[in-house]
Structure 1
Amino acid sequence: MNLNLRSAIISNVTGNTQEQLEDTIVDAISNGEEKMLPGLGVLFEVIWQNSSQNEKEEMLRALENGLKK
C-alpha cells in the first residue's frame, strides 16, 4: 500500500468520534466495494498497533471463528 494512501486515510478519520468511526466501518462493510478494503486495512492496522496482547488474541480468536466453515 502506498504510504501516502495510508496517511490520507488516517488524516480523514483523525478526530472522529466513536460513532463516526463506527459509521465509517459499517458503511464500508455494507457497501461491499473493493475500493474500501485499503481503508479498512489501515483502520485495522491502527487497532492492532494500539491493542494489548490479550486484545490481539481475542481478535485472532474472533477472526479464526469467523473463518471456520
Structure 2
Amino acid sequence: MDLNLRKAILANIDGNNEEQLEATILDAMQSGEEKMLPGLGVLFEILWKEAPENEREQMLSYMAQGVN
C-alpha cells in the first residue's frame, strides 16, 4: 500500500481560505489528538517555504521561547 500522507493532507486542504485554515489549526490544537500532528507539520512546511528569511528567524525565536 502506497500512502503519501503529505499529498493526502494537501488534497484535504486544497482551496481552503484563511478562515478555514485557521479553523483547521485551532481544531488540531484544541483536540490535542496525536493524529492531527502530521497535518500541522504539513501546514508548517508550507509556512516555512513561503516565509521570507527574516520571518523564519522570528518563527524560530517564538519556538525557542515556547520550549524554554
TM class, shorter-length:
over 0.9
- Output aligned runs, 1:1-69, within 5 Å: 4-68=4-68
Gaps of 5+ in 1: none
Gaps of 5+ in 2: none
**Partner SS, residue 21 of structure 1:** helix
Give the letter for the 1:67 counterpart.
V
Q: TM-score, normalized by length of structure 1?
A: 0.91
- Percent identity over the alignment is 57
Please state how far the C-alpha of 1:3 moved relative to its aligned partner.
Answer: 6.6
Moved over 6 A (4+): none
Structure 2: distance between partners of 1:12 and 1:61: 30
- Superposed CA RMSD in Å reads 1.3
